[in-house]
Chains A and B, each alone.
Chain A
Amino acid sequence: MNVIEASGLGKRYGSTWALRQCTLAIPEGHVAALVGPNGAGKTTLLNLAVGLWVPTAGTVTVLGGTPAGSPAALDGIAFVAQDTPLYKNLSVADMLHLTRNLNRRFDQGYAKTRLDELGIPLARKAGRLSGGQQAQLALTLALARRPRLLVLDEPMASLDPLARHDFMATVMTAMAGEGEGEVGGGVVGGAFLARPDRA
Chain B
Amino acid sequence: MFRLDPSSGVPTYLQLVQQVEHALRLGYLKPGDQLPKVRDVVAALAINPNTVLKAYRELETKGLTAGRPGQGTFIQATLRQVALPELAGLRRSLLGWLATADTAGLAEDGIVALFTSVLREFHGHGGAGGETEGVA
Contact = CB atoms under 8 A, between A and B. Distances in A.
Contact of A175 (B45, B48, B69, B70): B48
B42 A172 contact: yes
B44 A172 contact: no
B46 A183 contact: no
B38 A176 contact: yes
B56 to A, nearest CB: 12
Interface string B111-125: 000000000000000
B8 interface: no
A56 to B, nearest CB: 34
Interface in B48-91: 48-50, 53, 69-70
B38 A169 contact: no
Interface in B26-49: 38-39, 42-49
Q: How large is the interface on A (under 10, 10 to 19, 20 to 34, 35 or more residues)?
A: 10 to 19
Contacts of A183: 49-50, 53
A73 to B, nearest CB: 24
A180 interface: yes
A183 B47 CA distance: 13
Interface of A: 29-31, 165-169, 171-173, 175-177, 180, 183
A29 B48 CA distance: 10
Interface size class of B (residues with CB under 8 A): 10 to 19
A173 B42 contact: yes
Nearest to A178: B39
Contacts of B46: 165-169, 171-172
Interface in B9-40: 38-39
**Which applies to chain A's interface (DSSP): helix, strand, loop or mixed?**
helix
A31 B50 contact: yes
Nearest to B37: A176
A199 B50 CA distance: 19
Given A167-B46, A183-B49, 14 more contacts: A29-B50, A30-B50, A31-B48, A169-B43, A169-B45, A169-B46, A172-B42, A172-B48, A172-B49, A175-B48, A175-B49, A176-B39, A176-B42, A177-B39
A140 to B, nearest CB: 15
A173 B53 contact: no
23 contacts: A29-B50, A30-B50, A31-B48, A166-B46, A167-B46, A169-B42, A169-B43, A169-B45, A169-B46, A171-B46, A172-B47, A173-B42, A175-B42, A175-B48, A175-B49, A176-B42, A176-B43, A177-B39, A180-B69, A180-B70, A183-B49, A183-B50, A183-B53
A168 B6 CA distance: 15
Contacts of A171: 46
Nearest to A180: B70
Task: Kindly list the 8 A-B residue pairs having the minimum CB-CB distance in the complex, ordered from nearest.
Answer: A168-B46, A169-B46, A176-B49, A176-B39, A173-B43, A172-B42, A176-B42, A31-B48
